[in-house]
Amino acid sequence: MTDFEINKYFNLAIQAAEKARGKCSPNPFVGSVIVKNNKVIAIGWTLQYGGDHSEIQAIKHAGKEAEGATIFVTLEPCSHYGKTPPCAKAIIEAGIQEVYIGIPDPNPIVSGNGIAMLKNAGIKVHCGFHEDKIKKQLEYYLCHIEKGRPFVTLKTALSLDGKYAAGDGSSKWITGEKARKYVHKLRSENDVILTGIKTILADDPLLNARLPGNPKQPLRVVLDPYLKIPVSSRFINSLSEFPGLIICSNSMLKTDKAKVLRQTGAVIHGLDCENGHFNLSEVLNMLHNMNFYSILLETGSGLAEAFLEDNLIDKFIFIYGAKILGGTKSPFPNLGLSNINQAILLSDISYRKIEQDLMVIAYPKVIT
């Protein structure tokens, strides 16, 4: 098979994986393409958690034609029994004769075992294609496995001169309607939307994904050390429709306010808290243990700065509206970087125009 053909089929598999983004967590979203006689005969992607993995979907679509075919899959096929049987076993039983794998799975229960199972069955296996692209596509899953915590994205909307609000605090709307729709898509793709109590008190946000159809709703999480959240807030009044979690100080768990909130259906978890501040690594560890892989921060400057200072932000999304506001409403006013040499360096920058707005995506630069 030529390099051109291999690249073509992997691009199709990567595109197929995108159809599962935000819909199959905590499973990674993976794409598969089955080819026979230089013709694509089936395409699959990961279904909702507990459903078929991409390889199984593709094999089902191919039917008997899978025998003697070649499969291209973005992530190493699993080799263990979980919610579903092993995909490597299904590939063997389908009679597929050759497998091209984008990247190996770093999950210890899979890592190399899927490849070994295929090779032991006499199947030709090739691994290591479009690695950078696939690793970025699976950044949530890889962070969960390799760092033992959820992947954290900070999203913020700013004027072109970098202000999150006008001098009087008003901010509706800095960006246009199409950019705001993109934010709802972003919410549906993440497991968790995390904010602080100051944002709840100031803006009374709903924090759900408002899209046509029936989009996956993220878990809305509020860091509220002293349970200041109003019972009348939109967050509380929408709990029957959209999941929500309040994280408070352990000292507040048995208070009357906690009792009242639980009567509304609120779920409340406690953590140690010092002077109104949580250890953010403990917050992430709690959410990691709940099997959440991705977190979208929609916070005020204080909480955003705290995540930055603890080096817990994996990705930045800045959406710049076509407006100039002036004033002092900077998104990180107290970050304390007094010298240019202390600046947080960013890399892997990408840009996208959304009507008159500009979206910039960047990653913290890893210093080696």
What would the two tokens of residue 133 be?
Answer: 């692209």
Checking DSSP bridges between strand 98-103 and strand 273-274, what pairing results, if any? unpaired
Q: Please name every residue paired with 269 in a beta bridge, in sequence order, or none if there are none.
A: 247
**Euclidean distance between the first and final Cα of the chain, in Å?**
38
Query: Read out DSSP for 155-192?
Result: EEEEETTS-SS-TTS--TTSS-HHHHHHHHHHHHHSSE
In sequence order, the 6+-apart residues with CB closer than 8 A to the CB of 201 are 228, 229, 230
Structural tokens at position 109:
């229960």
Cα separation, 279 vs 136, whole angstroms: 28
Separation between Cα atoms, residue 212 and residue 215, nearest integer Å: 7
Report which DSSP code applies to 229.
-
Q: Which residues have a Cβ under 8 Å from the Cβ of 293 and sit 6 or more positions away?
A: 25, 26, 140, 141, 143, 144, 150, 151, 191
Neighbours of 357 (CB within 10 A): 22
55 is catalytic: yes
- Which residue out of 5, 18, 55, 355 is catalytically annotated? 55
Which residues are known catalytic residues?
A: 55
